[in-house]
Amino acid sequence: MLHPLALPEIIEKVGSFLAWRHAPDITAIVKPSDLASCVRVNRIWHQTLTPLIWTVFRDDVAAEWGIPADSAASLTKHVRFAYLSQGSQLIPIHSTKLRHLTLGHQDRMWDALNLVCTNKQLARLEWLAPFSSTHSPDKNLVRFALSTVTSLTSLALDCWRNSFLDDVIAIAQSNPDLQSLALGSLINLKVQHITNPQLLFNLTELRLESHWGLNTGIEFLVRLCPRLSTLWFRADSTCPYSALALNLAECCPVVASLKCVEGAKDAQSRNVMCTNDGVMCLVQAPHFLIHLEIPVKHLTYDMCDALLDQHASSLKSIRFYIQSADEEDFFCVNEILSRCLNLTSFALNDSDGDDCGMDIWKQAWRAEDICSMLVIPWNCSKLKTLQLTGASPMCYLEDDYPDEGYFGFDSSDEKDEHDASDGQDHQGSISEITTQDMDVDTDSQWTFDIVMENGELKDDQKGSIMSDKYKVYDPFMDIDPTPSELAFDIVLQLLETDSKHMFLGAFSDWLECLGWSLQTDVEMCELAIKKDHKHLLIELFECVATMPVMDQIVMGGVKVVKTC
């Protein structure tokens, strides 16, 4: 009897698990490195697993690895996902069972036409610049090739020139299962008089990535999508907001997502920002809006009211890209967080977009402005993630205290004298740093029983700030404080002190007691919390501590993740 791992069916099943990995968003990622080792086991493994290795083909990677074209040509019949770009080495694809084809080159017209025509079962097609002139015979050939494909669920056409909207509609109509259509960088798209066009009932996602001024009337496509749920659009000054909103309101009753196709940095550099009037017009068009992602110069009260009056109960995710933020922006954020009951994700990003890295050179938002988002209690108990990339609470030790030494002394001589007398490795532990200048509030509910000699801790009292050696008590109460109460009291005690690293360590301990983990881009021993951000962080985490499902807060240079 054969061993199970000698059966081709079992080997192929094992190989499929080795080849594919699934990312958190359930998108499949191929990693053939393990398969490359498995094909060396024996002949049956080689014969069975070689087709799996060639399931995904990228010509740029093939050129980088130096795969010989002659030996590869006979194996391309196994390819199911092909990505053909501007690779210097041309390896012909002989597969007739492609499911996903990306054509990113402009100089291999006949190869592209042949692949499209011989793979009528294609489910996804992305094609860059299939023709470039008005009267080129290639234009008719491309139209014919696309007409042979009838099983597409996703189609993306980029850099078409001097085409007709009728052609785009005809291609979409010939694929009744088409769910996603993307039109990028179209130039001079002509709109003729269209009579009784057939509706695209299965189209749920439409990406209009082209310049509105060069393609007048492209917004008419929206009227043909009665089941449209997601609209991606280019939010520049030429966008016909009124016409687009009218088409959405009249013909798209289930549209629930409005998103800008430009990233934050592209929006800033190309001046692609939604106008206030445009935003107010668009957000009122859907009957219920669930996801909103747009770049704006500023949030205003009128814009906020227009959004919340109609969609406060339906919104689940909001992402704003703003040029700069002031107090009014954060009052609007506060209004959103206090009225959107079902909100699960909120992001307010600056010109760096989703980049959350620590950047000491960028102009960060002011802490006193950010505090405005905490004025009214939040009422979004389902909120899971909060992102404020323009908030930068962290700095390097020397940046926040430029006129002081590492430990807060006024001169480097005093610091050297202190180091010589102590000889300890100071990394910011509260028990190892002199506390003679601490303003310890002995009248608060919890007080410290710290034994001091000449402003320094006794040897038997040195230890972690959370050590049992530091007893906190109240003479009028018999109840011992909880760890979180103890840690929070330490944070309050250190709030107004001039100790740079001690506050960060105590703040991190308090977060750990609340079930959060503080993660920074660089080693925490090199960082401090900016003086003007201490109150902000305390108030922010007092606010989110009671939120049941909140699991992540992201700011510039720091991420706080729920651990329990």
Report domain extents, the chain.
432-528
Average pLDDT over residues 281-305: 92
Written in H, E and C, the secondary structure of 59-102 is HHHHHHHCCCHHHHHCCHHHCCEEEECCCCCCCCCCCCCCCEEE
Q: So what's the pLDDT on residue 443?
A: 38
Distance of CA 5 to the CA centre of its chain: 42
- Identify the residue with better confidence: 143 or 384: 384
Q: Computed over its alpha carbons, how large is the radius of gyration of the chain?
A: 31
pLDDT band, residue 99 (cuts 50/70/90):
very high
Cα gap 57→53, rounded to integer Å:
9
C-beta atoms surrounding 37 within 10 Å: 11
Mean pLDDT of 410-437: 39
- Residues 301-328 have a mean pLDDT of 93
Read off the pLDDT band of 480 (50, 70, 90): low
Q: What is the mean pLDDT of the chain?
A: 76
Q: How far apart are CA 107 and CA 90, in angstroms?
A: 11
Positive or negative, the CA dihedral 299, 300, 306, 312 is positive
Of the pLDDT bands very low, low, confident and very high (cuts 50, 70, 90), residue 144 is: confident
Q: Write down how long the chain is.
A: 564
When pLDDT is cut at 50, 70 and 90, the band that residue 93 belongs to is confident
State pLDDT tens for residues 167-193.
Answer: 888 888 899 999 999 988 876 777 766
**Which of 43-47, 153-157, 164-168 ranks highest by mean pLDDT?**
153-157
Per the model's pLDDT, the better-predicted residue between 96 and 466 turns out to be: 96
Nearest-5° angle of CA 218, CA 152, CA 53?
Answer: 130
The residues facing 554 across adjacent strands are 387, 559
Report how far residue 419's alpha carbon sits from residue 426's, in angstroms, rounded to the nearest whole number: 9
Looking at residue 479, its pLDDT comes to: 58
Q: How many CB atoms lie within 10 A of CB 482?
A: 10
pLDDT of residue 31: 64
Q: What confidence tens digit (pLDDT) does each residue in 385-411 have?
A: 999 998 988 888 766 544 333 333 343
CA 413 vs CA 213, 386, 410, 417: distances in Å: 67, 44, 9, 6
190 SS3 class? strand
**Alpha helices for 238-376 (secondary structure H):** 241-251, 264-269, 276-283, 301-311, 327-339, 367-370
**Non-local CB neighbours of 559 within 8 Å, separated by 6+ positions:** 356, 519, 520, 552, 553
Contact between 510 and 484 (Cβ < 8 Å): yes
